[in-house]
Amino acid sequence: MGSNKALLELDGVPLALHMAQLLQKAGCARARLVGKDPKLLELGLDVLLDQEESYHPLQGVVRALTASTAEEILVVPCDLPFLSCTSITKMLQATPPACAERQPLFAHLHKESLSSTRAAWQNESAIFDFMRDADKLTFDEAELLNINHPEDFLMAKTRITQAESSNSTATAWSELFTDINATIDDESWPQLPEILSRVAPIRNIFEQAGSWRTIHIQENPFSIYGFPDLHRRSSKLLLVKPQFPLPQIISLHNHPQRFAIGLLGDCTGFLEPYRAAQIQLFEHISTDRQLLEQCVGIEGDRLLFLENRQFYRWNGRTKEDLGTFAQALPTLLLSWL
């Protein structure tokens, strides 16, 4: 391809991000991206960087098995843009080891296979030979179309365009709410926290929301604001939760990419992956553990810091001053919306 396939965009979404969204929709507890390119961290996903000099299909699998705390993992190449949620569920329900008959890297593996996988990688075994004894599952061949050449990419773009023209109905946000185990209280109209309402530029932004309610995500309550509403897939959604000294504000429409402020200390439930991505990105660009205490948010490949009541963005190279809370937050919110 001449470029990192994981970062190629189809319908405006990087292939790796699309696959992470699909895995979460299928019910996977955690989606992790394995690759060599540090630019993968810019996607805001949980990334396992592969620092081996060699290139072999199984070395990423070894990296994933080594890092996994679960007994079983699902391996899916990111360059399968037409794989369905139904097919992922089918693979999850198979007893490992199992793989797709024509795509052996789409597989369900057990942690116990780590040693044999490492040996196959080090011996440079072919992936088909390694998966010879695995249960072979059949899938619609159209779903297993992968992108190996520029013409494959062009064909995929054409296919998406044709699909959009035949079905223009947007996916409702209600599907995402189901995926993240969230319920909205339609009888609640929460007040904007005082720390936000007393700053006119911030208050003016939230007053542009056409809908707002209380939402419970994995039993944690937030206020949710929809611009212009909470239904259309094109709407922008902000989550708000009061806390001291800095409220939590999450750009939900970017999920599973991480755009959030107010990530302090330990975060549980829905926000745990956000905090994990924040720490992972920090460790990639800095070794100053003291500085981590000043890290209060994440914006894709950039971190947000609060020092002496002044906010700034940092990507490990460039520091961008954002000013005080009253100056910085409107800038952040407008860029997210």
Q: What is the pLDDT along the chain (337 residues), one digit of tens a residue?
A: 446 788 888 877 888 888 988 888 887 878 889 988 888 888 888 888 888 777 888 999 999 999 998 999 999 999 898 898 889 999 999 999 999 988 999 999 999 999 999 999 999 888 888 899 999 999 887 788 888 777 667 777 766 655 554 443 345 577 778 878 889 988 888 999 999 999 999 998 998 888 899 999 988 899 999 988 887 777 889 999 999 889 999 998 887 778 999 988 777 788 888 888 888 888 888 888 778 889 999 988 889 999 999 999 988 888 899 999 999 999 899 888 8
Segment holding 180, helix H or strand E: none
Considering the entire predicted model, what is its pTM? 0.56
Q: How many CA atoms lie within 13 A of 141 on its CB side?
A: 1
> For residue 56, what is the domain's CATH number?
3.90.550.10
Residues 92 and 233 in one domain: no
Give the residue from 166, 196, 215 where a domain finishes. Answer: 166
pLDDT in tens, 254-280: 877 789 999 887 777 888 888 888 888
Residues 326 and 187 in one domain: yes
CB atoms within 10 A of CB 34: 20
Residues 15 and 149 in one domain: yes
Residues 187 and 270 in one domain: yes
Residues 112 and 208 in one domain: no
Please report, in angstroms and rounded to a whole number, the separation of the first and last CA atoms in the chain.
33
- Distance from C-alpha of 62 to C-alpha of 51, rounded to nearest angstrom: 12
Give the residue from 139, 166, 193 where a domain finishes. Answer: 166
Residues 156 and 178 in one domain: no
Structural domain boundaries, residue 218: 173-336
Helix, strand, or coil here: 282?
helix
Residues 115 and 210 in one domain: no
